[in-house]
Amino acid sequence: MATSPPPVEVHKVPIESVSDASGLARLLDEGAIEADRVIAVIGKTEGNGGVNDYTRIIADRAFREVLEARGSRAPEDIKQIPIVWSGGTDGVISPHATVFATTDPDKVPQTDDPRLSVGYAMSEQILPEDIGRIPMVEKVAAGVKIAMERAGITDPADVHYVQTKTPLLTLETITEARSRGKDVWTEDTFKSMDVSNSTTALGIAVALGEIDMPVAEQIHKDLSLYSSVASCSSGVELDQAQIVVLGNVRGIGGRFRIGHSVMKDALDADGVWAAIRNAGLDDLPERPHPSDLKGRVANVFCKCEADPSGRVRDRRNIMLDDSDVHWHRQIKSCVGGVVASVTGDPAVFVSVAAVHQGPSGGGPVIAIVEP
């Protein structure tokens, strides 16, 4: 008989400078969690969010160094911990990290109600020529299924959040592919960020049965295909898909529960409230206020995308025509403000480039709460 996964603790810590991991160190020193039990970190760094966003690399190193100094795991094992950084804290979004760690079942509330479980996996190597194409969809889908199994989740309906980090294209990897006689989906390295995210999202949707396997022509084009739980980021730090699956499992106990919904557009605060209710805070009033949350929201995670129509609620905007400030930064700032207005806390995870992640012009929104 399969062993149940351990319960999971969730803690959000601020990042006060580019290389600051003191929040994680404080959690460990105070005994809130154990270094050797940390299984994933998902966070926002303050760089430009682009191909050359070095803040992700600096933060990654800082957090892994703390885990190595405070724990007993070997460096090669610490390198395998999924630490997913999304660059860009535009507007009021505050740099922070959400730390996930297993804990002793005897030290958490016991309940048969669904409680948060986390599984992670690394996909097969994703080659430069895979990005934007079916082989990447297949490799991601296979990795998601492995992560689900590790989380103890058998029903895809119990999955509420899949956070990934995948490679994007750089001049170096494009040149390497050419040296092997291969071509790539795009030679625009910045666009490859969006394409890597969208291809990954389709892999998640396939693994969870949200869609059938797409054809090549649908990738990054058929906006009717999407996952409602995918949150995909990409960067230069890796050449595999780093996959974290979060869902609910009955009987494992613990304090936290996860749920999701979608934001239909950039102003859809009701979508954020729906995710919070779906996670288990069903005692909220009909028109709630942040004060009604009473500190029970661990964090909210969402993806966003400038509506390709150039309109929100039938009003024209110029995000996609602005040559001064890229739309990535504008929509992230906008949605970050909307989400923070719900939670009352600007340390929220808002990531951009959401093609195939939620409905076009909107995106998935996930909440982890203490019900």
Which of 135, 127, 137 has the alpha carbon at shortest distance from 183? 127
What 3-state DSSP class applies to 296? Answer: coil
Q: How far apart are CA 350 and CA 195, in angstroms?
A: 18
3-state DSSP percent of the chain in helix, strand and coil, to 5? 35, 25, 40
CA atoms within 13 A on the CB side of 142: 13
- The one catalytic residue in 44, 139, 165, 303 is 165
Question: DSSP secondary-structure letter at 185?
Answer: S
- The one catalytic residue in 86, 233, 234, 351 is 233
Which of 137, 150, 323, 152 has the alpha carbon at shortest distance from 216? 137
Identify whether 228 is a catalytic site residue.
no
Identify whether 165 is a catalytic site residue.
yes
- Tracing tokens 């203490």 back to the chain, one arrives at 370
- Tracing tokens 């100094």 back to the chain, one arrives at 69
Largest CA distance in the chain: 61
Q: How far apart are CA 222 and CA 214, in angstroms?
A: 9
- Tracing tokens 């970050």 back to the chain, one arrives at 336
Active-site residues: which are they? Answer: 165, 233
